[in-house]
Structure 1
Amino acid sequence: MAIRFRVLGAAGRDNALHVEVDSGHAVRRLLFDCGEGCLSALTAGEVQAIDHVFFSHFHMDHVAGFDGFFRMNFAREGDSNRIWGPPGTGKILHHRFRSYLWNLHENLGATWRVSDIGEMEIRTWRYELPEAFETAHEEAAMVRDGLMILDEEDFTVEAMALDHLTASMAYKVTEKTRWNIDPQRLAALGLKPGPWLKTLKDRAALPDDAMVEGRSAGELRAELLVPTPGDSVAYLTDFLLDEATAEKVRRWLAGCRRMVCESQYRAVDLELAQKNYHMTADQVAALARDAGVEELVLIHVSSRYLREDRAALLAEAREIFPAARFPDGWGE
């Protein structure tokens, strides 16, 4: 299993994050935000393979590229037409769906589901292409389990609402713990490898009191299974980082390996950052340091900065958190 990610877009321009969760038997593809021009870094096949789109908020620089995504996928059938975002997402996307002329759609069967991530529940609406997306079909609301919004076989996605004078959602993707067989312990117990080991890993299919190879499944799990924590990456953008928010986010990021985070401004422009509910490089670096992440990738840098200023911005971050970097291709 592995998590691979690419920052889309250029320095000083709109950015997005493309994440692939590779379990070894399947790859799930996630897109976080969809700014103007960001999808040009992906092939048509990669865009059409995206399973979930997660919006932080709906300012233009985070959604301006959505029309290109929708154009390539509007008639896609299956369960991959899933969009998530802060409260109001369902209404905003309904307007986007309805903003086109639909008169050649009757024989197309695509269904889209859009979810508002609220503090206590997730509300979801279904939109049907054969209806020209005219009706918003509200589905049963789902009570949130903590910060969890998506729980798939191999990974989870959590979301936290932050303050950008509107709700701006931060997201964290975490692979589930992998359970591997210790071959030395297996040999010491005089047991041979076989298909039964795969069954042993499945706690739902095989209760602890079931007998396997002359022993209880629970006993064998305790003897043979070794946990390996999964990979993780967090995406955070556009919010005011005050003391209370820093503490909340720090706790949430504890144990997260990599952090992809906006760094709109240099430290000298702190007043401007606070006015616009953004962050400075030194603030982001301190957050990464205090959260104990392994790597910090700085994105969403203001267009006011030229190459030399961007280099200085990165240097400010590295003074506090040496493992900070720009995305590949931005230059340092």
Structure 2
Amino acid sequence: MELYFLGTGAGMPSKERNVTAIALTLYDERGTMWLFDCGEGTQHQMLRSPLKASRLEHIYITHLHGDHIYGLPGLLTSRSNQGGTSPLVLFGPPGLEALLEPVLRLSQAHLSYELIYREVSEGPVFEDDRFEVLCAKLDHRIDSYGYRIVEKDKAGKLDAGKLKALGIPPGPLFGRIKQGETVTLSDGTVVDGKAFIGPPIAGHKVVILGDTRKCESAVALAADADVLVHEATFDGSLNDLAQAYYHSTALDAARTARQAGAKALIMTHISSRYQEEETRLLLEEARTEFEQAWIAKDHWSFPIRP
């Protein structure tokens, strides 16, 4: 599992940063990837990356401002041209389908796959046997959401050494015991599989927020996250401007991470007033409140480890 940042700028593209798009690669877990927001030029950024649109399974849109959605028509049609045939689920706020469908229809876009719309509201928006995705409303000028991606706990490791000590050789019995079954050996010994399995392995928790001012719902959504991705449009000296435009400062992001008990903070959605060297100001400011903080940049990746 890895986060790959395709666009990390705020409002409009600059020479150093494209507008928002973040990929979560789930190649080991699902053989697919999920995309969070799709600003203008995302498909171009993807061409310069190791990512393939054909492997997209879900797209999650945080809100309907242009710097988060204007890349959708191009990416969706290019996915067809690049051989994408599997269904693609598009999650987003009310109005996303009404906004996008006329563009696809009037441009006579041909999609070689099924495009499925899922309108989001607060609460669970997706769940299967491996992942759950939850959604909460943030504090922005229009409805803006954050997504909490929870990987469900995995079964504990089998203590193979303990089984071998009982004279149980590797083979089909190992598999049954690993499933927690109770098995009877040829000599009549009854083996409780649960006694040979370690504690469950905690799954990862990743939280990706849309544009927002600092708010309690962000803190709640990010509780105990392995990684929190939070906008940091301005530095603390521009707090009044951030409040007026419903955005966050680097200090706001750091305080949210600290209050939530997150393990790592990645700041994105950086104003173009901060050129590459000037982003150090944002990072230094954030680390006064939360040490495990980073500033994302385009084509930067962050592996998510236990």
TM-score range, shorter chain: 0.7 to 0.9
Which of 183, 186, 190 aligns to 1:212? It is 183
Which of 48, 56, 59 aligns to 2:54? It is 48
Q: Per-residue deviation at 1:305?
A: 2.6
Question: d(CA) in 1 for partners of 2:290 and 2:35?
Answer: 27
Which of 18, 26, 29 aligns to 2:23? It is 18
Question: d(CA) in 2 for partners of 1:149 and 1:196?
Answer: 39
CA contact (8 A) 1:36 1:62 kept: yes
Say what the alpha-carbon RMSD is for the aligned residues. Answer: 2.8
Q: Cα distance 1:18–1:330, how it changes in 2: closer, same or farther (>3 A)?
A: closer
User: Is residue 137 of structure 2 the alignment partner of residue 161 of structure 1?
Assistant: yes
Which of 18, 31, 39 aligns to 1:35? It is 39
CA contact (8 A) 1:4 1:19 kept: yes
Per-residue CA deviations over 1:249-281 (Å, capped at 9, x if unaligned) read 323322210111110111111111111111111
Structure 1 length-normalised TM: 0.76
- The answer for the alignment partner of 1:111 in structure 2 is 114
User: Is residue 194 of structure 2 the alignment partner of residue 221 of structure 1?
Assistant: yes
- The answer for the alignment partner of 1:271 in structure 2 is 240
Question: d(CA) in 1 for partners of 2:295 and 2:76?
Answer: 29
- The answer for the alignment partner of 1:128 in structure 2 is none
Q: Cα distance 1:5–1:45, how it changes in 2: closer, same or farther (>3 A)?
A: closer
Which of 55, 58, 62 aligns to 2:64? It is 58
Question: d(CA) in 2 for partners of 1:317 and 1:270?
Answer: 14
User: What amino acid does structure 1 have at the position aligned with 2:98?
Assistant: K
Which of 106, 114, 126 aligns to 1:150? It is 126
- The answer for the alignment partner of 1:193 in structure 2 is 170
Question: d(CA) in 1 for partners of 2:90 and 2:177?
Answer: 35
CA contact (8 A) 1:13 1:303 kept: no
Question: d(CA) in 1 for partners of 2:290 and 2:51?
Answer: 37
Q: Cα distance 1:285–1:109, how it changes in 2: closer, same or farther (>3 A)?
A: closer
Per-residue CA deviations over 1:32-61 (Å, capped at 9, x if unaligned) read 001122333324961121111110011010
Q: Which moved more, 1:3-12 or 1:317-326?
A: 3-12
Question: d(CA) in 1 for partners of 2:8 and 2:211?
Answer: 17
Higher relative contact order (Cα pairs below 8 Å, separated by 6+ residues) = 2
Q: Cα distance 1:197–1:169, how it changes in 2: closer, same or farther (>3 A)?
A: farther
Q: Cα distance 1:46–1:185, how it changes in 2: closer, same or farther (>3 A)?
A: same
Q: Cα distance 1:216–1:304, how it changes in 2: closer, same or farther (>3 A)?
A: farther
CA contact (8 A) 2:242 2:249 kept: yes
Q: Secondary structure of the residue that 2:34 maps to in structure 1?
A: strand
User: Is residue 73 of structure 2 the alignment partner of residue 100 of structure 1?
Assistant: no
Q: Cα distance 1:69–1:213, how it changes in 2: closer, same or farther (>3 A)?
A: farther
CA contact (8 A) 1:156 1:173 kept: yes
**For structure 2, which runs of at least 5 residues remain unmatched after alignment?**
10-16, 301-306
Q: Per-residue deviation at 1:85?
A: 0.6
CA contact (8 A) 1:318 1:324 kept: yes
Q: Secondary structure of the residue that 2:52 maps to in structure 1?
A: helix
CA contact (8 A) 2:87 2:116 kept: no
CA contact (8 A) 2:39 2:66 kept: yes
Q: Cα distance 1:42–1:316, how it changes in 2: closer, same or farther (>3 A)?
A: same
Per-residue CA deviations over 1:20-41 (Å, capped at 9, x if unaligned) read 12446x4220000011223333
- Aligned counterparts, 1:265-304, within 5 A: 265-304=234-273
User: What amino acid does structure 2 have at the position aligned with 1:112?
Assistant: L
Structure 2 length-normalised TM: 0.82
Q: Which moved more, 1:85-94 or 1:318-327?
A: 85-94
Question: d(CA) in 1 for partners of 2:266 and 2:53?
Answer: 23
CA contact (8 A) 2:268 2:297 kept: no
Task: Report the number of matched residues.
Answer: 286
Question: d(CA) in 1 for partners of 2:162 and 2:220?
Answer: 36
User: What amino acid does structure 2 have at the position aligned with 1:33?
Assistant: D
Which of 232, 237, 243 aligns to 2:210? It is 237
Q: Secondary structure of the residue that 1:239 maps to in structure 2?
A: coil
Question: d(CA) in 2 for partners of 1:156 and 1:196?
Answer: 32
Question: d(CA) in 1 for partners of 2:220 and 2:51?
Answer: 37
Question: d(CA) in 2 for partners of 1:158 and 1:199?
Answer: 34
Question: d(CA) in 1 for partners of 2:43 and 2:84?
Answer: 21
Question: d(CA) in 2 for partners of 1:19 and 1:194?
Answer: 36
Question: d(CA) in 1 for partners of 2:190 and 2:212?
Answer: 51
Q: Cα distance 1:45–1:304, how it changes in 2: closer, same or farther (>3 A)?
A: closer
- The answer for the alignment partner of 1:9 in structure 2 is 7
Question: d(CA) in 1 for partners of 2:51 and 2:264?
Answer: 29
User: Is residue 223 of structure 2 the alignment partner of residue 254 of structure 1?
Assistant: yes
Question: d(CA) in 2 for partners of 1:39 and 1:230?
Answer: 30
